[in-house]
Structure 1
Amino acid sequence: MPPADPSPAAQPPIEAPPLPAALLNPVPMVLVGAALWLLAAIASFTVADLADWRPVTVAGLGVGAVGSAIFLWQRSAARRGSKGAQTGLTVD
């Protein structure tokens, strides 16, 4: 009897286990990030020594809002089954 072929081609591909649903849901992380940017913006407008932070915090809030809007737009397109939508944005 010939020995088993140890080459990778002879082995079936190993599949990674699926991630838990809690790790696939981006909403909690988006909310935490938005809350932190909002706190930083409030601090920059209420504490005089943090006045230099104002443009950065306002830009952070703006970029977060635009990014969240694009993500929600893509996720709704994926749920509709749009042909050009990204994949992997929904949790089954």
Structure 2
Amino acid sequence: MPDASDIPELPRVLRAPEPVIIAGMVVWMVATVVVWMTGWGGDRAVQVCLVGLAVGVLGTTIFLVQRAASRRGDRTAQQGLD
């Protein structure tokens, strides 16, 4: 059975959360524009898209605050957010 030290670490490009965050925000933005321009789904669909954008902004803010704390070396920060 292989030891944990024998398992290679994933390359940075596969561990980076930034592309996923950006892609998610772009998808919500495109969906918001499409729903707003076409009227597809009514007002409820626009609200859902705007909430999706808001959750993305909130999540991105939390991620950036945690990464800054991790880089500063704060004891309460998440580990591994380089």
How far off its partner does 1:87 sit? 0.2
CA distance in 2 between partners of 1:26 and 1:14 (Å): 23
2:62 is aligned with 1:70: yes
Distance 1:55 1:17, change over 3 A: same
Distance 1:78 1:39, change over 3 A: same
- Matched with 1:13 is 3
> How many residue pairs end up in the alignment?
80
Q: What TM-score does the superposition give when structure 2 sets the normalisation length?
A: 0.88
The list of structure 1 runs, each at least 4 consecutive aligned residues, that deviate by more than 6 angstroms after superposition, is none
CA distance in 2 between partners of 1:80 and 1:59 (Å): 32
| Larger CA Rg, structure 1 vs 2 | 1
Q: Is the 8 A contact 1:75 1:89 kept in 2?
A: yes
* Superposed counterparts of 1:38-57, under 5 Å: 38-51=29-42, 52-57=44-49
Percentage identity across paired residues of the two chains: 36
Distance 1:87 1:60, change over 3 A: same
Q: Is the 8 A contact 1:78 1:87 kept in 2?
A: yes
Task: Name the one with the larger helix percent.
Answer: 2
Distance 1:59 1:18, change over 3 A: same
- Matched with 2:13 is 22
- Matched with 1:79 is 71
The one-letter amino acid of 1:78's match is: S
Q: Which runs of 5+ in 2 are unaligned?
A: none
Please, what is the CA RMSD of the aligned residues? 1.5
